[in-house]
A and B are shown apart, each in its own frame.
Chain A
Amino acid sequence: MRKKVLLAVLIFTLLFISVGSSAEELVFTFWGGPEEAKVMPEACKEFEKAYPGIRVRPMHIPWGDYIAKVSAMVAGGVPPALGYTMETIALDWAEKGELLDILPLIRKDPDPAIKMENRLPSIAFWYDKKGKTLGTSVAAEAMIIWYNKEIFEKAGVPYPPTDPREWTWEKFVDTANKLTVDVNGKHPDETDFDPNKIQTFGVAFGNWYMVWFPFIWSNGGDLCDSTGKTPTINKPEAVEALQALVDLIYKSRVAPTPAQMGALPAYHIALQTKRVAMVIDGQWSLLELGKLIKEGKLKLGVAPLPVLKKPVTGVIGNPIGIYAKAVKDKPEILDAAWKLYKWLNNSEKVLPLIRNGLWMPIQKWWYTDPEYIKKWIGDTGIHPPEYKEAVIDYTIKYSEPAPVYYLRNFDKINDIMYQELSNAFLGKISVQKACDEIAKKITPFLIGRYD
């Protein structure tokens, strides 16, 4: 008995010996795949070289547990100095003082790359009646259409136009129809077309807000009014847009049902294996698509989104926030954090992630200055020739911010939209009915905007 007690005490002592090490360094938390896991620490190393005396500790956290870990750190009083923040929660944390308002710092700083007016306006996070900001997304991501040029060529169908004003919805549906074939080679508009045995789908898209909203906006509608307090999702403009998407599945039969979507592999594989001709997707897929291009397996094309009434696309991207409590009353840390923030938000410093197709830059001059455009897409081997018109010009001209940039409770509203619309996309209820349900259920959560 005594021996056991001694053993226990020994183990406890071993366990409780404090191993202390608290160096003065900036903790920077982030998530991402292997490319980001490599490039971000490299960018931090470059930063340390440029600013000797500041140490950075990049902390790569798995995406699935990111919010739990960082919330625990914040609530536990050991926040990072800087870190990725989920778009859906960023403004709330900023309002509550957890993230720093950087407008005063921007004003004092002469660096043009950091000025809000020099960054894409559609990716900015404003709050307090546009008096405060936590900056912009660290990268922009626009919604566009990727397509497999070989499928187009084989079917004798002209590529989509790069000017969205020529890419009307009718033309889009017609194109998709010509590209959709069943196992017997029949198109959806032919009499003996078998919708259960479709070999190639004309178009595929996911069931989420970055697909819904650009088309709702294109038709002149929106989720709610500009105060963010009254739902307009069940008004004709929004309903028509969503109906147009649902019709692609059940009327024109050029798109897969949700169950059939489950049968399709990831977009880049689906395109490459010719299961789909076009995908409505985010720009970030270029990372994986690019790998297939380099292997010679895919001839990729890119086009803007088709237009219902007016050309528009959505942009999204998570921001890097400076955690207020980490820098409070510590001017040296604030200074160091600000320097690192500027570094990471200057797209030039994270160029590998832009050139490999994952990110789009955030300073405006990347979209207008030929020098910068060359830095972005020149000789990458993966950006299709029409990329400049279809993506770069398209984004700078027609992009609108996703609701996460301004709407309160958007995450909750989005989940409600998803559940209700899933019934419509399964063909079980009409879009109008789904939207009426949405309007009813989101009303208590529509409490306004952050800006």
Chain B
Amino acid sequence: MKKAEAKWGVLLALSGILGFILWNFGPMVASFVLAFTDWSLAGTPKFIGLTNFKELFVDFIFKKSLWVTFYFGIGSVIASGITAFLTALLLNQSIRLKSLFRTLFFLPAIVPAIANAVIWLWLFNPTFGLLNSLLQRLRFPTLNWIYDEYQVIPSLILMSAWQMGYIMVIFLAGLQGVPQQLYEAVEVSGGNWWHKFRYITIPMMTPTFFFQTVIGLIWALQGFVQPYVMTAGGPNYASTFIVFYIYQNAFRYGKMGYACGISIIFFLIVLGLTLILFKTSSFWVYYEAERGR
């Protein structure tokens, strides 16, 4: 049985493995090799050894972008994760017009990126934007949002919490996957909603939480549209995300090799984080399928 299982395992996983080898591996290796060259997209890349990395070491923009990116990435995963979970819980109740409400909450995710950026530029507007108007009405001091170097990242985190529609859907699917029997069992033993939540929902949702944490981080750390369309990386480099800086070096400054160097470092950091998350997952993630295996 074990040998047959192993055979099937490899066979069925083949599409994913082949896909990686064909479409990802080559370009990834190519980009890593390019990190040791100087190339402005014209002519042929020139091998320059470790020069790019030496330059990165003293590049103040690179260092700031590392900090800024992780500040945003971690903040965004937490904010949108919590918002999405609360919303999913809310919309998993038996209420009328469920489909309509879920769609409404999902709308920000479906608006095309360009239109979305313009909408948020309007929301963030210090003089007439909706957010400041609301603050004024509630007698709070108004903010400068993306025009202030200390407020820009929290502003972008707020914006990403708004777009949690994707995550909400994933959490909804996860909640659907919790077998009804388990809740009924708790009721039979006299438990209330808190027991259901604490002993059934949360543990059964941990695989989904794990997914959201890993993928959410990988995605948020590669944020690009916000600086590209809304802030130009400012003010004072405060929203220069790494992928944005990579893009600028690759396509605007004619420093593709340098951009690849940044990518390698970014890649290693993200890989390290992912490995840590996977290794520590056995402490908090509960997989029903692995029970007793």
Residues of chain A whose beta carbon lies under 8 Å from any beta carbon of chain B: 67-68, 71, 74-75, 86, 88-89, 92-93, 95-99, 258-260, 262-263, 409, 411-412, 415, 418-420, 422-423, 426, 441
Contacts and interface: CB of A to CB of B under 8 A. Distances in A.
Interface stretch (B125-133, B177-185, B264-272, B273-281): B125-133
8 contacts: A74-B42, A75-B41, A260-B126, A262-B125, A262-B126, A411-B254, A422-B236, A426-B147
Nearest to A413: B253
Contact of A97 (B43, B126, B149): B43
Contacts, number: 74
Which of B127, B144, B232 neighbours the largest number of chain A CB atoms within 10 Å of its CB? B127
Contact of B42 (A86, A96, A419): A96
B127 A259 contact: yes
Given A67-B251, A263-B125, A419-B233, 19 more contacts: A71-B251, A75-B41, A86-B252, A89-B41, A92-B40, A92-B42, A92-B254, A93-B40, A93-B42, A96-B40, A260-B127, A262-B121, A262-B125, A262-B126, A262-B147, A263-B127, A411-B252, A415-B233, A422-B234
A395 to B, nearest CB: 28
Contact of B236 (A260, A409, A419): A419
Closest 9 interchain pairs by CB?
Answer: A96-B43, A98-B42, A96-B42, A263-B127, A259-B126, A93-B42, A259-B147, A422-B235, A71-B41
Given A67-B252, A96-B40, A423-B236, A441 B147 contact: no
Given A88-B252, A89-B40, A98-B42, A418 B234 contact: yes
Contacts of A68: 251
B253 A412 contact: yes
B116 interface: no
A80 B41 CA distance: 15
Contacts of B149: 423
Nearest to B251: A67
A185 to B, nearest CB: 19
Contact of A418 (B43, B232, B253, B254): B232
B284 interface: no
B17 to A, nearest CB: 16
Nearest to A429: B236
A419 B234 contact: yes
B253 A411 contact: yes
Contacts of A409: 253
B248 interface: yes
Which of A68, A71, A409, A423 neighbours the largest number of chain B CB atoms within 10 Å of its CB? A71
Interface in B139-156: 144, 147-149
Contacts of A420: 236
Q: Is the interface of B mostly helix, strand, loop or mixed?
A: loop
B285 to A, nearest CB: 33
Interface string B225-262: 00000001111110000000000100111100000000
B72 to A, nearest CB: 17
Nearest to A441: B60
Contacts of A415: 233, 248
Nearest to B146: A262
Which of B40, B42, B60 neighbours the largest number of chain A CB atoms within 10 Å of its CB? B42
Nearest to B41: A71
B108 to A, nearest CB: 21
Contacts of A258: 147, 235
Given A71-B251, A98-B43, A263 B235 contact: no
Contacts of B121: 262
Nearest to A68: B251
Nearest to A264: B127
Contacts of B43: 96-98
A68 B251 CA distance: 7
Contact of A426 (B127, B232, B235): B235
A438 B252 CA distance: 19
A260 B126 CA distance: 7
Given A412-B253, A415-B248, A426-B147, A97 B42 contact: yes
A36 B31 CA distance: 35
A88 B127 CA distance: 34
A86 B254 CA distance: 11
Contacts of B147: 258-259, 262, 426
Given A259-B147, A262-B121, A411-B252, A419 B237 contact: yes
A433 B121 CA distance: 29
Nearest to A260: B127
A262 B121 CA distance: 8
B191 to A, nearest CB: 46
A111 B128 CA distance: 55
Interface in B41-59: 41-43
A263 B147 CA distance: 12
A144 B254 CA distance: 31
A125 B9 CA distance: 61
A51 to B, nearest CB: 29
Contacts of B234: 418-419, 422
A92 B252 CA distance: 11
B2 to A, nearest CB: 21
B276 to A, nearest CB: 33
Which of B41, B126, B128, B235 neighbours the largest number of chain A CB atoms within 10 Å of its CB? B41
B253 A263 contact: no
B247 to A, nearest CB: 9
A244 B144 CA distance: 24
